[in-house]
Amino acid sequence: MNKKLLLIFTRNPELGKVKTRLAKTVGDEIALEIYKYLLQKTQKITSKVTSDKAVYYSVKIRENDIWEESTFQKNLQNGEDLGIRMLQAFKNSFKKGYQKVIIIGSDLPDITTEIIDEAFLQLDSSDVVLGPATDGGYYLLGMNTLHEKIFKNKNWGTDTVRAATLSDLKDKKVHLLPALNDVDVFADIENHPDFQHFLK
């Protein structure tokens, strides 16, 4: 067994259920197309990472989709908010014997295999690795032992998440990765080259 595990949190790509803030500007159909594109990109990038990989679906585990069973373990997210869902996923992973666990979302147009590899590497010398998102949250979180506190008492989806998380970790060694933008609203894609053909 590989001692490293990459968790990928995804939403089931259903019309009207994904990227709802973005959809207010571009409409549900385009928002769904953009999210499917982001899923494909995430799948392509993560396939090249040399670790075990597990996809956590928001609603229902799908067979025969882009996440091949030969490469990706399949699980269902469980819990009433994002923090609890992430906590459960980390708990499961450490319980299975993994020593380094990293989680990412599936709405990162600029994520690279190199960034994820670097995050795993930094866990040799840091307690926690955090990828800051430009909106005040984070796009990647990695640890080699469970820090339960960081999943609780956060206003998920707001610009306070990263600061509150770092405050919880002030006595730990935290490595910060380069900041990236995740896609939530129209401004996140407006000038990004990957999305221009969706917006014509």
pLDDT > 70 in the chain, percent: 100
pLDDT tens, position by position, 57-80 = 999 999 999 999 999 999 999 999
Task: Tell me how far CA of residue 4 lies from CA of 9, 52, 68, 83, in angstroms.
Answer: 16, 6, 19, 21
What pLDDT score was predicted for residue 30? 96
The pTM of this model reads 0.96
Q: Single out the residue of 116, 172, 178 nearest to residue 142, CA to CA.
A: 116
Please give the average per-residue pLDDT across 149-159, as a whole number: 93
Q: Which domain holds residue 65?
A: 4-192
Tell me whether residue 183 is in a domain.
yes
Q: How many domains does the chain have?
A: 1
Asked if the model's pLDDT at residue 1 lies above 80, the reply is: no
Asked if the model's pLDDT at residue 15 lies above 80, the reply is: yes
Q: At residue 38, what is the residue type?
A: L
Structure tokens at 15: 């019309």
What pLDDT score was predicted for residue 102? 98
CATH number at residue 155: 3.90.550.10
pLDDT tens, position by position, 19-28 = 999 999 999 9
- Kindly give, in sequence order, each residue whose CB lies less than 8 Å from that of residue 124, ignoring residues fewer than 6 positions away: none
Q: pLDDT grade, residue 157 (50/70/90)?
A: confident
Tell me whether residue 106 is in a domain.
yes
Tell me whether residue 197 is in a domain.
no
Q: Tell me the angle at which helices 28-47 and 113-122 cross, rounded to the nearest 10 degrees.
A: 60
What pLDDT score was predicted for residue 37? 97
Tell me whether residue 198 is in a domain.
no
What pLDDT score was predicted for residue 2? 79
Q: Which residue has the tokens 């926690």?
A: 128
Asked if the model's pLDDT at residue 36 lies above 90, the reply is: yes
